Structure 1
Amino acid sequence: MQGKVVVVTGASGALGKVVAQAALARGARVASVDYAGSDIAGTPDHMQLGGVDLADAAQASKAVEAVMAHFGRLDVLINIAGAFSFETVAEGDPETWQRLYAINVLTALNASRAAIPHLAASPAGRVVNIGAIGALQAARGMGPYAASKAGVHRLTEALAAELKGKVTVNAVLPSTIDTAANRAAMPNADFAKWVSAQELANVILFLAGDEAGAVTGALIPVSGRV
């Protein structure tokens, strides 16, 4: 990752923070982008863009333009921005389906579309998306979330096919991630079986690195010990 310019969306979240810090520790220059927070000038190696609604294509383009103005190049896009809701089909609200589609799919779509010209100019352009093992077969209450993450899977495959030979596009599919929020929501679960944010970051950064140049269009389960 030495010297590569990496954009991490959803960078203020539990996974995004770990991925951004891991990339910095490996020598990358990082742009942390999130809906939360505000812009921070940062350092030559780390800029932070807050208040960015990536579900809005114009805001996504503006954020990528700011990254290019700061770093002058873009090598890796890691689409972590996302959300989860547990809601049954019969008792839930159709608005949830629209909200999760916007947060999980449109954010990745808009960020990718804005970044593609710059990634294609890199000698090793990479896109890494966050899918979900739970989207391979939806369980009770997982309908809107699974449908939106299945959309991320198909977006990954379509982009990989379109950009073959120019940019690699892959997705990691975690099971339950070991975060404070998930522990609070499921206090009786066996946390040792979950995948840690650092374990997931290791796979993400492998796909973002030079060693994964022959991997594209892959949906890689990262299930921890489930």
Structure 2
Amino acid sequence: MSGRSIIVTGAFGVLGRVVAAAFANQGDRVARVDFAPVAPDSFERGLDFAGIDLTDSAMAERAVADAADAHGGVDVLVNVAGGFTWQTVEEGGAEVWEKMFTMNLRSNMTITKAALPMLKRSPAGRIVNIGAEAAVQAGAGMGAYAASKAGVHRLTEALAAELAGSGVTVNAILPSIIDTPANRADMPDADTAQWVQPQAIADVILFLASPAARSISGALLPVTRGQST
């Protein structure tokens, strides 16, 4: 299955870069898509599409079309793009909820819709979304974030049902806290032993995108163990 055309959104972030590299390392052609205007590193094994606002359907459609033209279609879409805000209902406002739904759910839906025709033409189309363990049962200050990620879970399930008669599978992984520099800076006193490594998440995504996972669709898969190897 190497040599496939892969799109990874949010691909300039810590997790996105690891996921993109994992696909490239096995011989796939990867398009990295991100809102940031400039990539933080060079990516000689694929293409970078910077400054892409995935909340804009037209921009999402152009990014997909350009990636498909360059790589001969689209076989796998990995939706990493998103964001996080901690704010209580009492202290926050509707704008925080709108921001989270825009960043985490709308950005997912627009590019997924744009990629669907090509994914359905692929011999083994795959969509992998990033949900959140925190959306299963939200804690204090997690309402807006958890609600938006719960929307990603429901989108995953609904789309899997819609595509049941096709060769496309749709699944989501539900990480707990991901071990990133930003999370370590935000939680300097936390015990990071059970935080999930980005490479571990990438490994699960590679599996869900592989022929071995051909019979799995509509799954919400927890990824919560902190082992580094």
Structure 1 and Structure 2 fold alike (TM over 0.5)? yes
1:95-152 C-alpha deviation (Å, 9 max, x unpaired):
0100110110011100100000000000000000000000001110000000000000
5+ residue gaps, structure 2, are none
Unaligned runs of 5+ in 1: none
The Cα shift of 1:70 comes to 0.8
Structure-2 separation of matches of 1:14 and 1:66: 24
Q: Deviations over 1:54-104 (max 9, x none)?
A: 011111101001111111211000000000000000111210100110110
1:31–1:47 Cα contact (<8 Å) kept: yes
**Partners of 1:222 and 1:72 in 2: CA distance:** 32
Aligned to 2:170: 169
SS in structure 2 of the partner of residue 193 of structure 1: coil
SS of residue matched to 1:195: coil
Question: What residue in structure 2 maps to residue 34 of structure 1?
Answer: 34
Deviations 1:7-42 (A, max 9, x none): 000000110000000110011110000000248997
Q: Secondary structure at the match of 2:221?
A: strand
| Structure 1 ranges of 4+ moved more than 3 A | 38-43
Give how far 1:190 is off.
1.3
State, as a whole percentage, how many aligned pairs show the same letter: 53
Partner Cα distance (2:10, 2:201) in 1 = 15
CA distance in structure 1 between the partners assigned to 2:42 and 2:88 by the alignment: 43
What CA distance in whole angstroms lies between the structure 1 residues aligned with 2:178 and 2:226? 11
Contact 1:35-1:52 within 8 A present in 2 as well? yes
User: What's the counterpart of residue 18 of structure 1?
Assistant: 18
Distance 1:46 1:164 in 2: 31
- Change in Cα spacing, 1:202 to 1:154, as seen in structure 2 (3 Å) is same
1:140 aligns with 2:140: yes
Cα 1:116–1:41, aligned 2, differ >3 Å: closer, same or farther?
Answer: farther
Matches for 1:173-188 after TM superposition, within 5 Å: 173-188=174-189
Separation in structure 2 between the aligned mates of residue 54 and residue 206 of structure 1, nearest angstrom: 26
Give the equivalent residue in structure 1 for 2:193.
Answer: 192
Partner residue, 1:60? 60
Q: CA 1:95–1:28 in structure 2 vs 1: closer, same or farther (change >3 Å)?
A: same
Task: Please list, as runs of the form range in 1=range in 2, the aligned pairs for 1:1-226 lying within 5 A after superposition.
Answer: 1-38=1-38, 45-166=45-166, 167-225=168-226
Per-residue CA deviation, residues 177-220 of structure 1 (Å, 9 max, x unaligned), is: 00000001111111111000000100011101111100000000
TM-score normalised per structure 2: 0.95
Instruction: Please give the TM-score of this superposition, normalised by the length of structure 1.
Output: 0.96
